[in-house]
Amino acid sequence: MTQAQTTLRHAVTCSGIGLHSGEMVQMRLHPAAENTGIRFRRTDLQGQNEIAADFRLVGATRLGTTLMDGDVSIATVEHLMAALWGCGIDNALIEVDGPEVPIMDGSSEPFVFLLECAGKREQQAARRVIQVLKPVEVSENGATARIAPGEGFSIGMEIRFPHAAIAEQKITYEIDGACFKKNLARARTFGFAEEVEQMRAAGLARGGSLENAIVIGPDKVLNAEGLRYTDEFVRHKVLDAVGDLFLAGAHIQGSVEGFRSGHGLNNKLLRALMADNTAWRVSGEKVPEVA
């Protein structure tokens, strides 16, 4: 059964620290017309200040996913994009008064709460669904990501880190909104204490803290409250993939598998899929080749 597109019922606002800038950011989410998709507007910039949530505009993937279009960029979009997918929001205009989406607690849960406060309303147009028709796989530096036909939307992810706090973790979920909210939304981003100074010297993670990330020390997790899930690390990687893949501009019907995959490989997978016009179609109709 074809589903209708949705948007927010009301505008809603939040504020928080930017993970990389360390500065306070205010963000306001507005309803948008059908077929708008998700768009960001930088209210701190003059002139052309909008950018689409589009996988083709991903320009940086170190420690997050950054959209770039000319002089307009918006960083760390993946947790918000995942929440929009999890709450079933197709169309929204997101105003941000800085260069990145606020990190909040490092998960999607605060954004899910925000979206639920805004409410949701159906629109007239049918939801755009990308159906995967054949397997596509990409790899780099020993990591792989693969997408194949499937009845719904599933993600399997495996990670391996040479640290006892993480080690090897592997999960697979058939994901819908309820599954996302219960099993993935609360999983936080993570990093290693020994890398913090290096990142800050490179102008990154200036706003990172125990309040918005899991921080891993030499032999343990440093957060006093511990983990929210025993396998929170791999769950967060799945959350990231949900957000990165929603940059396709549609809901994907297919099965995704990742081994040590991250933002860069997630985007590479989408680009490879969409570049092959025999590998996908939209809502039962074959689509033209992407330039």
Cβ-contact 36, 8 below 8 angstroms: no
What is the bridge-based pairing of β-strands 251-259 and 129-132?
Answer: parallel
**Among 20, 79, 251, 263, which one carries the catalytic annotation?**
263
The position carrying tokens 């309040």 is 211
| 251 part of the active site | no
Cβ-contact 186, 109 below 8 angstroms: yes
Residues annotated as catalytic (active site), given as ranges? 263
